[in-house]
Amino acid sequence: MTVTIFVPRDAAALALGAEKVAKAIAHEIEARGLDAKVVRNGSRGMLWLEPLVEVRTEHGRIAYGPVKAGDVKGLFDAGLLTGGDHPLCLGLTKEIPFLRQQTRLTFSRCGVTDPLSLEDYRHYQGLKGLEKAIVMTPAEIVKEVTDSGLRGRGGAGFPTGIKWKTVMDAAGPQKYIVCNADEGDSATFADRMIMEGDPFVLIEGMTIAGIATGATRGYIYTRSEYPHAIATMSQAIEIARAAGILGPSVMGSAHAFDMEVRSGAGAYVCGEETSLLNSLEGKRGIVRAKPPLPALQGFLGRPTVVNNVISLASVPVIMDRGAAFYRDFGMGRSRGTIPIQIAGNVKYGGLYETAFGLSLGEIVDHIGGGTASGRPVKAVQVGGPLGAYFPRALFDTPFDYEAFAAKDGLIGHAGITVFDDTADMLKQARFAMEFCAIESCGKCTPCRIGSTRGVETADKIRQGIEPEKNKALLADLCNTMKFGSLCALGGFTPYPVMSAMTHFPEDFEPAPMVEAAE
């Protein structure tokens, strides 16, 4: 029987040499006249093991990693096709602790299947949610999503069902589903992994959203820095269209739905939903004032659902397994699972899907394994560039929207950046202000001007110029930005700045004279 060898096609694996590894494996198969084939799967999300090569054996899939092209000959000599022993052998993939301890609902197929095989997709529960949705009324679908407790995974945590209901109830000759795949937050790659590793789940989720709200067209808005995701998503859309999943009659039903991928130039503010809509319409990516809500007047002024990739990709499993199944995971008002992305100075970086509720310390110390440098963890920034820096003293905070908000933090898109004790938190605070100054759309003064003044003030603190007065000024600037900005770019930049000042006051003391003179 033909043996299947899996080599990821995910961008992270490609960056680490997966293409060369795949070619070397194909070469060995041919040179040795073996009955084996290579399937290019998505990533399992264990980035320190990429490129992770797997072989399907009678006992299950056996993993090897990280594999370099130069290792391939030795792997074949060691009996790769039967899961032979080798220093790179990691045993059964599903038994690797990082993977075994996860609850993979949204990412259940990612890394398991050939992303562009509809056959694989169906084999692993794909399209079951859509099949159910087709025979339900829009109100029933919306109720199921509402009851599941699903909240937007893009950052704001707004209940997805309520947003869908607003669009369902809105009158309009044309409605739209817009998938926010801009993924601008630092330390985040979950959206990209889904688009490259299981694109049909996003197509299925968007189609269900269309049926629920009466929208017949969908757009995936992503950034040009994601060429592999764009290519895979576009191919998957064509395959789905050819199979009758997309088009005038979704899976033979009376519902029409079709979609396409659009790419932007990659401005952080274009991830903000109204700015995204402007960009999608071909205009400058500048934030629109709300109201009107995009749900009522969104793309081209029509009722529009704007949802993050993970929000939409979580819908198929909810429809398939039911709202109660999904809602049973999690804590408080944070229901279901969340794909946590662990990055920065960390030993085991990658994607870890789990129910809400793990403590930050468990995630960083146990799952992430502490820093890659081996030095003590000093701070963790959760939620991208607008997220707060948490010190070890806050490591008991459970991963939950409300628990983080109660400690002046946010979960955002669930990206975590780890820093060791060499991090300079005044520098990080300055960076937050600088990032805001560069990325600001320029529409409102507190953000546009405040961020530049923030950079100057941080520099004065560093130089020891009236440090107490300038620290008070920085806090005052933050207060103005927090309450006077139109969107969360200006409004949340104070979180990293103030958390750095509050939790690491020693870093805001003037530098010793030697450094100041440099």
Ligand X SMILES: Cc1cc2nc3c(=O)[nH]c(=O)nc-3n(C[C@H](O)[C@H](O)[C@H](O)COP(=O)(O)O)c2cc1C
Buried b or exposed e, range 176-214, using 16+ CB within 10 angstroms = bbbbbbbbbbbbbbbbbbbbbbbbbbbbbbbbbbbbbbb
Among 15, 31, 156, 438, binds ligand X (CB under 6 A): 156
Q: Which is nearer to ligand SF4, 127 or 447 (CB)?
A: 447
Q: Is 198 in the site for ligand X (CB under 6 A)?
A: no
156 binds, among ligand SF4, ligand X, none (CB under 5 to 8 A by kind): ligand X
Residues near 102 by Cβ (< 8 Å), separated by ≥ 6? 352, 353, 354
Window 242 to 271, contacts with ligand X (CB under 6 A): 268-269, 271
443 binds, among ligand SF4, ligand X, none (CB under 5 to 8 A by kind): ligand SF4
Give the count of residues interacting with ligand X (CB under 6 A). 22
Bond from prior residue into 510 cis (ω within 30 degrees of 0):
no
Q: Which backbone phi and psi does 286 adopt, to 5 degrees?
A: -120, 145
Q: Is 455 in the site for ligand SF4 (CB under 6 A)?
A: no
477 binds, among ligand SF4, ligand X, none (CB under 5 to 8 A by kind): none
The CA distance from 130 to 140, in Å, is 13
Q: Is 432 in the site for ligand SF4 (CB under 6 A)?
A: no
Among 245, 444, 455, 501, binds ligand SF4 (CB under 6 A): 444
Q: Is 315 in the site for ligand X (CB under 6 A)?
A: no
Q: Which is nearer to ligand SF4, 229 or 487 (CB)?
A: 487
Q: Where are the alpha helices (DSSP H) in 243-359?
A: 273-280, 309-313, 315-321, 323-327
Which long-range contacts link 20-23 to residues 24+ away (Cβ below 8 Å)?
A: 20/68, 20/69, 21/51, 21/53, 21/67, 21/68, 21/69, 21/72, 23/69
Q: What is the DSSP letter of 173?
A: S
Expressed in angstroms, the distance from the first to the final Cα of the chain is 68
Q: Is 443 in the site for ligand SF4 (CB under 6 A)?
A: yes
Q: What is the total residue count of the chain?
A: 518
The CA distance from 8 to 18, in Å, is 7
Give the count of residues interacting with ligand SF4 (CB under 6 A). 14
Q: Is 279 in the site for ligand SF4 (CB under 6 A)?
A: no
Q: Which is nearer to ligand SF4, 81 or 488 (CB)?
A: 488
15 binds, among ligand X, ligand SF4, none (CB under 5 to 8 A by kind): none
The residue ranges that bind ligand SF4 (CB under 6 A) are 269, 287, 440-444, 447-448, 485-487, 489-490
The residue ranges that bind ligand X (CB under 6 A) are 152-156, 158, 180, 182-184, 268-269, 271-273, 306-308, 311, 487-489
